[in-house]
Amino acid sequence: MALVISLNLMLIIIGLVAITRFSAENVSQQNIIRAAETHLQQALTSAYLVIQYHDATADRDVSFELNQARTELNKLFIESDSLDSLLAAIESRILVVQKLYDRVLSLGNVTTEGVAVSHLEDKMISELNILMEDSLTLAQSVTLQRQEALTQQLTLLLVAIFLLALVPIVFNLLLAQRFANRLKALVRSTQKISQGKLDIRVDSEADDEFGLIGQSINHMLNSLKTLTYSKAELEDIVRQRTEELNHQAMHDSLTGVLNRRALTTRLDEEVQRSRRHNHPLTLLFLDLDHFKQVNDHYGHAVGDQILQETCQALTECIRESDVLARYGGEEFAIILTDTTLEAGHELAERLQECFSTRFSRHAILEKPLTMSVGLTSLFPTDTLTQLFTRADTALYDAKNSGRNRIVIAQD
């Protein structure tokens, strides 16, 4: 029996030590333990009386004092408000029981009444077993609670670790998504720029690398727009200047009509068109009579004015399809498209009438100004030189035959 009690006590102590050892007794627990020890001491004293004197009253007192000691020890668990203090209470209770057990074992050395000692020992051991079973049950309960608490703490720790690991992952995912969205927007902007859309603007408000890239792209766009506008303006200037140069190269600077070079080019085109469509073509050469006297008498300024007025008068009398050009000096040429030699002669007469009307009573000139005309038509085998030569020869004949005349070139 004593061996069983000893083993039980050792198991309880080993179990408690395996869990942990706490020394957190407070003043209240110490008072409870002292009260329990007092009752146990009284129980032992009563037991001693039973053994020595066979006192029945003392025998009852043993049970009473043991119950009181158990009641006092149970207060330890009522006073315990935490797991740590509960473990300390169980440890204190075991120590008290251990003391009681040692005193019971010492009783055998006091008495010679084997029966009485056996009866008293059985009673004491029975009470001690109750105390030990309660303590063991509480120790197991505390162990389970401790394990559950540790499990909960471990679970909370794992959850905390998981959350701590999850937060940067989620943050990185959100950051990566934001990075991808901004990169896609940047790619779309650059694609539009590559298509020549320079009016777009890239987001440059963010204080990061994307903001710096946006600022650089916007600066580049401003530069490109400036260069584009400059290029457009330059192209417009070049185009206008080219047109001016082309106009100057093909037109007479004084009168504004085609010059000799443009006349040759245009006559070549009209000759080809006439032969292609088998249409007639007539060429007129005109020369102002005695124009040198006008320059000598009135000066070249008046002479230039007369040449300008001559072009105005001729333009008013010809058709829109006809081509007027200044051949040189006071000599002019007119290409009459889709016109026979006879029709060309009639037009030459109208031109002389228009010219005579314009200059018969001129505000500056004291004498009427007349004009000589020579004309010819295009022959199938003509070259431009031959056509020019025939018209020029006819004009020369008109001037030599008295001027103010119209002469048709001979075949």
pLDDT digits (tens, 9 = 90+) for 31-75: 666 666 666 666 666 665 555 555 556 556 666 766 776 676 666
Boundary residue ending a domain (107, 126, 159): 159
The answer on pLDDT for 112 being more than 50 is no
Q: What mean pLDDT, rounded, does the chain reach?
A: 75
Amino acid at 277: H
Residue 285, beta-bridge partner list = 333, 374
> Looking at the domain assignment, is residue 391 inside a domain?
yes
Q: What is the pLDDT of residues 345-382, one digit of tens each?
A: 999 999 999 998 888 888 888 888 999 999 999 999 99
Buried residues in 373-393 as b, exposed as e (16+ CB within 10 A): bbbbbbeeebeeeebbebbbb
- pTM score above 0.85: no
Are 335 and 267 in contact by the 8 Å Cβ rule? The answer is yes
> Looking at the domain assignment, is residue 293 inside a domain?
yes
> Looking at the domain assignment, is residue 45 inside a domain?
yes
Span 112-121, average pLDDT: 50
- Residue 380's nearest CA partner among 283, 262, 285, 279 is 279
The reply to whether 262 and 392 lie within a common domain is: yes
> Looking at the domain assignment, is residue 225 inside a domain?
no
> Looking at the domain assignment, is residue 308 inside a domain?
yes
Q: How far is CA 132 from CA 3, 65, 99, 165, 231, in A?
A: 14, 17, 13, 48, 106
Tokens (6 digits) for 63: 């049970």
Q: What is the dihedral of CA 195, 196, 198, 200, to 10 degrees?
A: -20
Amino acid at 49: L
Q: How far apart are the first and last CA of the chain?
A: 167
Domain containing residue 304: 256-408
Boundary residue ending a domain (159, 180, 215): 159
Q: Walk across the sheet containing 371-377 and list its strands.
A: 323-328, 331-337, 281-288, 371-377, 406-408
Are 134 and 77 in contact by the 8 Å Cβ rule? The answer is no
pLDDT value of position 190:
72
Residue 286, beta-bridge partner list = 332, 373
The reply to whether 149 and 288 lie within a common domain is: no
The reply to whether 120 and 268 lie within a common domain is: no
> Looking at the domain assignment, is residue 181 inside a domain?
no
pLDDT value of position 73:
62
> Looking at the domain assignment, is residue 182 inside a domain?
no
Query: Rounded CA gap, 348 and 350, in Å?
Result: 5
Boundary residue ending a domain (144, 159, 174): 159
Q: What is the pLDDT of residues 272-318, one digit of tens each?
A: 999 999 999 999 999 999 999 999 999 999 999 999 999 999 999 99
The reply to whether 17 and 141 lie within a common domain is: yes
> What CATH number does the domain containing 397 carry?
3.30.70.270
Query: Residues with Cβ < 8 Å from 360, sequence gap 6 or more?
Result: 368
> Looking at the domain assignment, is residue 134 inside a domain?
yes
The count of structural domains within the chain is 2
The reply to whether 155 and 260 lie within a common domain is: no
The reply to whether 32 and 154 lie within a common domain is: yes
Are 43 and 72 in contact by the 8 Å Cβ rule? The answer is no
